[in-house]
Structure 1
Amino acid sequence: MSILRQVPLFLLMGGVQLVLDSAVTIGLSRAGLALGLANVIGRVCGAMLGFWLNGRFTFGGPGSRLGRAALVRFLAAWLLLTAASTLGLAAIASNLSLQAAWIAKPVVEAALAVASFFISRHWVYRAA
């Protein structure tokens, strides 16, 4: 499948994930939950949707199936990217403010999306 087809689909699916992820993260942290935990919960919500959307539409082809191997690879990549996201947001909140971390959340996630695209394309969904 062409990278020229995959990039716009990945951006579209990522946008949907980012809205869900950010809304959950900001809502929970605004309600008093620790930012790190709120971020992980937000990313879990986005990840559940994103695994299926990207596996089915972005990187999948006719007749492709999302199997256990793709899920395990997805979870490994997700754990690393979530750690980077959470540590980055925690550093911003600690050095600036919680509100600054809320503003930075989409920027942090966009930067991680570049790595996520290539990890997904070449490793996570390689058999999909």
Structure 2
Amino acid sequence: MDRLSQKTQLQILAFIGVGGAQLLVDAAVFHLLVQWSVPTVPANFTGRLVGACVGFVLNATMTFRSAMQGRMSWQAWRRFWMFWFAMSVISSVLVRSGQALLPADLQDSGALTAVKLGVEATLAAFSFIISRQWVFQT
């Protein structure tokens, strides 16, 4: 990380911390809903929605606060939800595809939650770039 500015390095570390908290909330909600027989796609959207609320507030107030100039703008809020919806569609397609590839005896919520965690981890790097360059810019 030598070539990245100190500000960018700190943002990456904060984004990873916030993302970890967001992912735990998202995965926990997803896991519980799947346990309660909610279909995969609605469970994924619901988990991502709850996690996104946590993530937006934490990223706006901690990770990208200098870009936000100490306040949350409606423009950033609108861009966040547009981006969230697009990423949720991609995530749901990938999680559902992963579920279809699992053998029938492994389609329990534990294996499916592991698929979801892999999908979300893969999308995280792309999410940082878009959040930094578009969502939280004023």
TM range (shorter): over 0.9
Percent sequence identity is 34
Structure 2 letter corresponding to 1:89: V
Task: Name 2:48's counterpart in structure 1.
Answer: 43
The TM-score normalised by the length of structure 2 is 0.87
Task: Give the CA deviation at 1:101.
Answer: 2.4
Q: Secondary structure in 2 aligned to 1:33?
A: coil
Task: Name 1:115's counterpart in structure 2.
Answer: 126
Say which one has the larger Rg.
2
Q: Counterparts of 1:54 and 1:74 in 2: how far apart (Å)?
A: 11
Q: Is the 8 A contact 2:99 2:115 kept in 1?
A: no
Q: Counterparts of 2:15 and 2:132 in 1: how far apart (Å)?
A: 10
Structure 1 letter corresponding to 2:14: L
Q: Secondary structure in 1 aligned to 2:65?
A: coil
Q: Which runs of 5+ in 2 are unaligned?
A: 1-5
Task: Name 1:56's counterpart in structure 2.
Answer: 61
Q: Secondary structure in 2 aligned to 1:2?
A: helix
Q: What is the 5 A alignment of 1:6-25? A: 6-25=11-30
Q: Which runs of 5+ in 1 are unaligned?
A: none
- Superposition RMSD in Å: 1.4
Task: Name 1:28's counterpart in structure 2.
Answer: 33
Structure 2 letter corresponding to 1:43: R
Task: Name 2:115's counterpart in structure 1.
Answer: 104
Query: Would the alpha carbon gap of residues 63 and 73 (structure 1) be closer, same or farther in structure 2, given more than 3 Å must change?
Result: closer
Task: Give the CA deviation at 1:106.
Answer: 1.2
Q: Counterparts of 1:91 and 1:98 in 2: how far apart (Å)?
A: 12
Q: Secondary structure in 1 aligned to 2:137?
A: coil
